[in-house]
Structure 1
């Protein structure tokens, strides 16, 4: 067991990006960023990190095959330690959200329940697990909008959609990569049901849908300059979709690097959206 292992299990970069993305939702909702609102950043960091930890806890047998370098299979985090750690982070995140307003508290509770349910059960339900984790990614903006009440949530729905579509595409591709380990662990994913090739094609369509949504005039800063900058991320997302769209095996999907490329495209899109929100 090691401190580094406990840091790695929360996937700190992903959790931090999720926390910062909340501020984008706050800006879109038209709320000034004040020091108390940084509680939302910490709350989302904790809840996201807890979700990553509980996912590793539930997937420890699968990860022993697919990802032996991860904290639990490698022995840097104990099974019991991961369980206590994730519970602590969930509680901290929920309590911090409660300090902002009841709507943020409600979303924090809902998302925490979904994260645990996903890791323990829904991940093994074809497509349902993909939908849940993609909603959770998009809901980060809804969480930020909730700082301004229900109207803030409504204003953030387009941004949530822009994140939801590439996220579900990536989740499907990740499942296509991990068929062997998922079979050993008793999971039943979409690629296992319909095959790798159809799954990759569905992921490609979803990624293309995200690109189309990103260029529609649904964000408050829509302009020619916005289109020029978001195109940089859109090209990366489309490249990821195309690179795997003809794959028929898990090895092909892994070798294509599609999931990594798609993640890069999503981060690039997020960075561009944050810059535009700040400039507005």
Structure 2
């Protein structure tokens, strides 16, 4: 058991990016970033980290095949330790959200339940698990908007969509990469049902939909400068899914690097949105 293992199981970079992204939702809703709203950052960081930990808890047998270097299979974190750790993080994150707004508290509770349900059951349901993960990613903006009430939620719906679509694409591609381990662990994913090629093409359509949505005048700062910047991130996203478009095997998807490139494109798009939210 090690402190490094407990930090690693959080996926701290992803959790921190999610925490910072919630401030974008606050800004889009017209709110001001006050010290109280930083509780939202802590809430999202903790709930995201807890979700990662509980996911590793339920995936420990699959990870022993696909990712033996992860904290539980490698022995850095015990099975019981991961369960207790995730429970504490969930509770602390929900408590932080409760201090900001009732809507934030409600979303925090819902998302925590979905994270556990996904890890325990929904991951094995073709496409349903992918949709849940993508909703959770997009809901970060809804979470920030909720601090401003109903109007804030509505203003953040386009941003949630821009995140939801490429996230679903990436989840499908990740499943295509991990067919062997998932089959060994008893999971049933979309690529197992439709085949790798069809799944990769579904992912490409979803990513293209995200690119189209990002170019439409659905954000307050829409204009030529915004379009030029978001187009660069969109090109990375399109290149990522194009790299795996003809793949028919898991090995091909892994070798294409599509999931890593898609993640890079999504982070770049998030950076553009955050930049314009700050200067707008």
| TM-score class, shorter | over 0.9
- Unaligned 5+ segments in structure 1 are none
* 2:92 counterpart residue number: 92
Deviations 1:109-149 (A, max 9, x none): 00000000000000000000000000000000000000000
* 2:110 counterpart residue number: 110
How do 1:176-191 and structure 2 match up within 5 A?
176-191=176-191
How do 1:1-280 and structure 2 match up within 5 A?
1-280=1-280
Q: Specify the SS of the correspondent of 1:247.
A: coil
The separation in 2 between residues aligned to 1:86 and 1:112, in whole angstroms, is: 10
Q: Specify the SS of the correspondent of 2:147.
A: helix
Q: Specify the SS of the correspondent of 1:148.
A: coil
The separation in 2 between residues aligned to 1:46 and 1:58, in whole angstroms, is: 18
The separation in 2 between residues aligned to 1:186 and 1:63, in whole angstroms, is: 13
How many angstroms does 1:165 deviate by?
Answer: 0.3
The separation in 1 between residues aligned to 2:227 and 2:74, in whole angstroms, is: 44
Deviations 1:84-130 (A, max 9, x none): 00000000000000011111000000000000000000000000000
How many angstroms does 1:150 deviate by?
Answer: 1.1
Deviations 1:17-74 (A, max 9, x none): 0000000000000001101100000000000000000000000000000010000000
The separation in 2 between residues aligned to 1:136 and 1:207, in whole angstroms, is: 17
The separation in 1 between residues aligned to 2:89 and 2:251, in whole angstroms, is: 35
Q: Specify the SS of the correspondent of 2:203.
A: helix
Deviations 1:148-191 (A, max 9, x none): 00110000000000000000000000000000000000000000
How many angstroms does 1:217 deviate by?
Answer: 0.3
The separation in 1 between residues aligned to 2:116 and 2:83, in whole angstroms, is: 11
The separation in 1 between residues aligned to 2:240 and 2:205, in whole angstroms, is: 12
Runs of 4+ in 1 over 4 A off after TM superposition: none
How many matched pairs? Answer: 280
Please tell me the root mean square deviation across aligned C-alpha atoms, in Å: 0.3
- Give the structure-1-normalised TM-score: 1.00
- Unaligned 5+ segments in structure 2 are none
The separation in 2 between residues aligned to 1:255 and 1:75, in whole angstroms, is: 28
